[in-house]
A and B are shown apart, each in its own frame.
Chain A
Amino acid sequence: MAEAKAKRFVQQEVPKRSVEERLRSFEEVALGYTEEQAIAEAKRCLRCKEPQCVRGCPVEIEIREAIELIGEGKFDEAIRKIKEKNSLPAICGRVCPQENQCMGQCFLGKKGAPINIGALERFAADYELAKGVDIPEVAASTGKRVAVVGSGPAGLTAAADLAKLGHNVTVFDALHSPGGVLMYGIPEFRLPKRIVEAEVNYVKRLGVRVKADVIVGKMIRLEELFEEGFDAVFIGTGAGLPTFLRVPGENLCGIYSANEFLIRVNLMKAYRFPEYDTPIRVGEKVAVIGGGNVAMDAARSALRLGGKVSLIYRRTEEEMPARLEEVKNAKEEGIGFLFLAAPVAFLGDGRGWVNKIECIRMRLGEPDETGRRSPIPLDNSEFLVDADTVVVAIGQTPNPLAVRNTKEITVSKWGTIKVNPETQETSMEGVYAGGDIVTGDATVISAMGAGKKAARSIHEYLMKK
């Protein structure tokens, strides 16, 4: 009896690729539960009367019901239940920061390990992808047309929800492959591109049209979308602009923005150069500046490209915004961490290439407005770090291209689009926005939550019109 109780508090471990294999391969690290594991994990669920997990889910998945179905071996029903609310489960199961959301709320977590909801979601989604995806019936056509600008998590979610409600949806993307940050930002070893393609394909099979290579704001202005016959527009263009440190020497060769580094590796498949045409240069000593998921992705990519990688973060491990699982993976793979340090200059080798970083040491002060303790530079604490490749991963800012020439859209001083938080409505009639373009850089799932909310508002708006 005591043993059974103890078992209830222990999570089924997700099988992972071995570290040796990971060091030279972009293959996915987490391998996912087997059927037996999924059932065992699902059976740990306490079936709370008022499940807290759901309250932690930005897209409101009926998690308890889905887990129960998995526990009964009813995988088809489980994925259908999940997909009632979430059109991209194979993605969320892999990249959501579950520890801060559903799993963070799980009652079991108070006594032991919470249910690994992410791994179960992924299991159900992969189960369906492997056997062939069922397309749910969509509502009868409303005759209304919606343009979705940006095909990242916010845009895809809005598009899928609107298509299910019977609207005629076209998604535009500036890049050549749809998926936004899922395609260009998150590496293969964390989110295989075939999974993104499969989820995009699902959205297409709901009747959504996807047009790549179209830059709204440049090739067609927002206002013109209405002239072209669209009845409403959703903007989900994300936080696509890189942030640099603005310190001397930052334009030396060998210094990448995280965006450039990851776009080359993920979207352009530079890790397969010269089989693919886009090159990337990773030297012997790589420094990644930052402590978020993007920094972790860049560091682990650089490692797989043969570099010895250190991460430089101005706070301590505790304040790092990266997902716990990814920090753990990075440590296992041998990424070095230099905490409480920040670059003040990049030094060149005399031929235009970076070879050293001048850093200063920091200490932690009082918590700032985000609740994290803010770093304070220590006087006369300069020191040098060797680095022939640097990736600056200190955040992204909203991409203004889509609305730059549209005065009717009110934008904050940070470049984010202002919306009514209840409805995601912008200042322009019929135009809604959500995701990083509204919040500044955040998570895939919060963008999806916003896309979902916007779809609901757009539906109401169109049906009243």
Chain B
Amino acid sequence: MGEFKILEKETLAPEIKRLVVSAPLIAERAQVGQFVILRVDERGERFPLTLVDWNTGEGNVTLVFLEVGVSTKKLGALKVGDQILDLVGPLGNPAEIDRYGEAAVIGGGVSVAAMYPRVKALKGAGNRVTSIIGARTSNLLIYEGEIREWSDELHVSTDDGSKGFRGFTSNVLGDLLNRGRRFDFVFAMGPVLMMRAVTEVTRPYGIKTVASLNPIMVDGTGMCGACRVTVGGKTKFTCVDGPEFDAHLVNFAELIARLRTYMGEEQRALRILEAKGLGGG
């Protein structure tokens, strides 16, 4: 059927890949904040990726991912012209994009790419946008140019200090607030520890803070409840109630524990994959 064909492939940083995939129905409907569920091959898992970009006219979507487990390694092994077996979306609720005034958008690691449509949309809605992006080290920093283009202000941090501020993006935000900067809206997306740190930084200031959560998902349509999170004491399904929630109400400790559910199995599967190789990928 020629569906979900890979049109472009690029290595953005070691183990971080960018794919442009043909998916006209998804491209036509996609909105900021939404995600897709993929299955790479017949034996593959279903897993979510946030849409990084979409081109309605050309009928394609852009995905950026870190090759961290079996599924993402299999995805990364596909070549231009190959097909992703299943791609379904756009899922989740579109983001609320308002004119807040001063907005800070904070992302870490591979999620910096998924920040990009948010930065664009917030800027487009008339906000003054401060972007804070981070990575472990400078060569893992991605989408810096794209985000700079749409930001009024860009801060970069690396854990090892190889570029920009030495430390975490949450530290950068903390410093700005300490020095008297005020934000009306903060959006965080990235590793769960980073999102929790950002949430704690903004909590004393009472700044509206939204996080895009990344729990384990299976179907992505509300059927399984694998992605349930506690928000304000209530159980929510990230796939249909989210993926974005008021970060100050999210039980991050529970999310962290649930994300580790299959750590043992994931490592075992990865060892097996590495031992036998990706079969010509």
Contacts and interface: CB of A to CB of B under 8 A. Distances in A.
Dominant secondary structure of chain B at its interface with chain A: mixed
A206 to B, nearest CB: 20
A250 B218 CA distance: 18
Given A213-B88, A275-B43, A399-B223, A250 B235 contact: yes
B95 to A, nearest CB: 16
A260 B224 contact: yes
B116 to A, nearest CB: 23
Contact of B225 (A184, A257, A275): A257
Most chain B Cβ neighbours within 10 Å, of A213, A277, A351: A277
Contacts of A281: 261-262, 265
A264 interface: yes
Interface in A242-260: 242, 244, 246, 250-254, 256-257, 259-260
Given A241-B223, A274-B272, A260 B218 contact: yes
Interface residues of B, number: 44
A401 interface: yes
A268 B45 contact: yes
A335 interface: no
Interface size class of A (residues with CB under 8 A): 35 or more
Interface in B51-110: 70-71, 74, 85-91
A259 B219 CA distance: 10
Given A277-B70, A351-B257, A401 B221 contact: yes
A351 B261 CA distance: 11
B224 A218 contact: no
B46 interface: yes
A220 B29 CA distance: 8
A387 B162 CA distance: 48
B226 interface: yes
B26 interface: yes
Interface string A223-266: 00000000000000000111010100011111011011001100
Contact of A176 (B39, B70, B229, B257): B39
A401 B261 contact: no
B218 A264 contact: yes
Given A219-B25, A251-B258, A278-B45, A240 B269 contact: no
Nearest to A392: B225
A185 to B, nearest CB: 10
Given A277-B43, A352-B257, 18 more contacts: A175-B219, A213-B86, A213-B87, A213-B88, A218-B90, A218-B91, A218-B221, A219-B90, A240-B221, A241-B222, A242-B224, A250-B235, A251-B235, A257-B225, A268-B46, A269-B43, A277-B71, A277-B74
Interface of B: 25-26, 29, 39, 43-46, 70-71, 74, 85-91, 218-219, 221-226, 228-230, 235, 240, 253-254, 256-258, 260-262, 265-266, 268-269, 272
